[in-house]
Amino acid sequence: MSDQLTRRDFAIRTAGFGLAMGLVPAATLAEAEQASRSETSPTVADPYSLVDPELLPALKQFPASFDLSAETVRQFRQMPGTPPLPAPTPQPVERHIPGPPGAPEVRLWVVDPAPLEKGKPLLLHMHGGGFMMTGPGWMPLLQEIATECHCVVVSVDYRLAPETRYPGSLEDNYAALKWVHAHAAELDIDRSRIAVGGESAGGTHAASLAIHARDRNKEDVPICFQLLIYPALDDRTGSSEPAPPPVGHFLWTPSANRFAWSSLLGVPAGSSKVPVAAVPARVASVAGLPPAWIGVGAIDLFAEEDMEYARRLVHASVATELLVVRGAFHGFDILVPDAEVSKQFSASWKSALRKAFATSS
């Protein structure tokens, strides 16, 4: 299996980047355009005109929008996962660790690119999937990160919404963070070089974990860096705060965002009932957080909230790099990995991660 085919399969089948076409009836191009216009401001007559030309053919294979529901989540969860890339690519190893008090064990996937090497950096990874699903093809991504960034990757199979509401998944991720710190010698890692990161909902979890670890600093589980790949950071986007006209037309829409956040929180997204600590954008202060890389497409639903979060970090004197990609929608780099904008995007976050590890040693 080639890396290109694996990454494309990852895109088509991972809910964090858009549900598989098999979950909703395939739309003709005319139907897709009509569905898109139904949510479009008159100021954006044709949302497709904003898309980078290299990304457009693949995008038009998808319905312009879909209804995220309990049924589509159920169908998605039944889909088989994509297997890891074969050896000599480093192989994922399944581990089970104690969960939060009173909760089940937490499953981890560990990918070590150099088992005989000591003092390696580590990325604690949280997968995407709209808070409710597990990316079935995320194993090849973990292998890619471990190989290209020469770090141990530990990915957390946190409990999913709506069966587990906030703060269950956060507690699972924090248990994993404490475990990698406590087992640094066993993992042959340098505990001063532990980063957190994820894509889409995984980026949400990574940002929340960085905040939680800061607020519980007495437990001494420092994080050197946060890698936030088009993260969902504000439950109010598409609910109490309408999305700006140019964004959120493709693959991840305002309605999907409302459903996902409400499923995680257990209360309506955007409402006054939302716990402030559950949403990175609602947290009063971002001072003292680890350095960050934030990347997002300019027409991704999360573009504005990601830029605002980066602004807050900069104002709080947190070293921050922000990349906004013209003409790019949610998950563009996975859907069309060979596009020039995708290659530049992936190179940027990998370079940022490697630099963070180098400067933290």
pLDDT tens, position by position, 277-291: 999 999 999 999 999
| 326: confidence class by pLDDT, cuts 50, 70, 90 | very high
**pLDDT per position as a tens digit, 6-58:** 444 444 444 333 333 333 333 322 332 333 333 434 467 899 999 999 999 99
Catalytic residue ranges: 200, 300, 330
Give residue 65's pLDDT. 61
Give residue 136's pLDDT. 56
Element housing 181 (H / E): helix 168-182
Residue partners of 82: CB distance under 8 A and separation at least 6: 6, 9, 10, 13, 136, 137, 139, 140
Cα–Cα distance for residue pair 246/46, rounded to 1 Å: 10
**pLDDT per position as a tens digit, 221-239:** 999 999 999 999 999 999 9
Cα–Cα distance for residue pair 177/175, rounded to 1 Å: 5
Judge if pTM exceeds 0.75. yes
Q: Output the average pLDDT for the chain.
A: 88
Best CA proximity match to 133, nearest among 159, 111, 109: 159
Q: How confident is the model over 64-75, as a mean pLDDT? A: 83
- Lowest-confidence pick of 34-43, 70-79, 164-173: 34-43
pLDDT(4) > 50: no
Contact (Cβ atoms closer than 8 angstroms) between residue 211 and residue 242? no
Cα–Cα distance for residue pair 6/89, rounded to 1 Å: 13
Which percentage of the chain shows pLDDT scores above 90?
Answer: 80
| 262: confidence class by pLDDT, cuts 50, 70, 90 | very high
